[in-house]
Structures are given as C-alpha cells and as structure tokens.
Amino acid sequence: MTEIYCAIDTPDLAAAERLAGDLAGTVDGIKLGLEFFVANGPAGIERLARKGLPIFLDLKLHDIPNTVAGAVRALMPLGPRILTVHAGGGRAMLEAAVEATADAAGSRTRIVGVTVLTSLDDDDLGRMGWAEGAQATVARLAQEAKSGGLDGIVCSPREAAAMRAEFGSDFFLVVPGIRPAWAAAGDQKRVTTPAEAAAAGADVLVIGRPITGAERPAEAAQRIAAELAA
C-alpha cells in the first residue's frame, strides 16, 4: 500500500506543530528536511514526533564514512522511520550508515539513498558532466545503494517503474516530485501525479506544497488519498 508523507519545509516550529497536528489521521507520516533541522535541531524533531506521525528525516547525509556513521548514531535516539544519505557517497559510506543503525537496539529506521534530485533534468545533469541522463544515473546509483546494503532509494516518479522492475518488490522506493493534476509543478521537473507514481511502484509518496500550501491542508491531503484509493 503506497503511503503519503507530507513534506513540512519550514523553520517555524510552531507552524510545523500546527500542521502536523492538523494532518494527523490524514497522512501516513511527515518529512522533515534541512530547513527544519537546521533551525530546530533534535529537540524540534522530538516535538514533532509527539504529534504521533512517523518521521522521515531527510538530511541527505554525505561525508566520509566515519562522519556519516557518527551522524546516524546520533540521530537514532530520535527514532526516524526513514533517513536519507546520498547514494553517491561511495560504498564504504553507505555500508557505514547501515552498520550505524545496527548499533541502535530495536532500530526500525530505513536508510535510503538519494539518487538524482527531482529539481534536475537531463540538461542540468549534462552541464555537470553526467551525460548519461537521469534514468541511467538513477539506475547506477540505485545499484550502488543496493550493493551498500541500503533499504532503498529516493528517485523521481519517472524512474520508479524501472527501479521496481530492476530491483524487485523488497527494494524501498521513496518518491518525491508528486504533483496532483490540480497543483502547480513549482521548481520540480521530473514529476507525475500521485496515482501515476503509485502505479509505478512507489512505496512512499513525498508531497509538500500541494498540501502545505493549501488553504485547508488536511482537506488537500484527503483529496490526494481519495485519488490514490480510486
């Protein structure tokens, strides 16, 4: 069953708490990223966790293996359901991140590797020297993530079907870049609708502004859930 996680991208702790409380019972979890974490730190994560929704901590860790392992260990007491590292960090870094979760007794955290950001397209990648394009780059990084022991990857909905076919049902696919037909794409380039992403094999849909920017966020989330159910 495809889950919906709402991306709460704000440094305002009180606003985030209100939104999380409003969304309780309408989404399956919330995603908190760098903007929130830098402003509020672990204490902010703990405050949001009290709202009862699982936490996807999207920090995209990318450093030498020892540093990433230390960061993962430091985050484990917060109990995130999902935690991101960069899939391009190298095999040793990925393995170190996975081993660090094993050090936390009873950890249920899934470590997933960020492949190619959904704000990038083939032209952007070409300018950075990655001439193979998004699809091939995602596939290569996904293989690295799997070989490094990660639970899955973050990829755009455009690559989700191919990744599901390549890596099977046990490989966890977190898919941002989700825009309902009635919502603006914003700065996202490789996007699809929630139903299309779910059909492609996404385990988790990450949806931000179509929910958080709505006049009534809970109603927007319910509308998206109804689209998936249909």
Q: Give the residue numbers marked as catalytic.
A: 60
Asked if residue 158 lies in contact with residue 138, where contact means CB atoms within 8 angstroms, the answer is: no
3 state SS of 218: helix
* Contact assessment for residue 87 and residue 150, using Cβ atoms and an 8 Å cutoff: yes
Q: Which residues pair with 113 in a beta bridge?
A: 85, 153
74 CB-near residues (< 8 Å, 6+ apart): none
Q: Are 53 and 19 in contact (CB under 8 A)?
A: no
For 142-206, the DSSP string reads HHHHHHTT-SEEE--HHHHHHHHHHH-TTSEEEE--B--TTS--TT--S-B-HHHHHHTT-SEEE
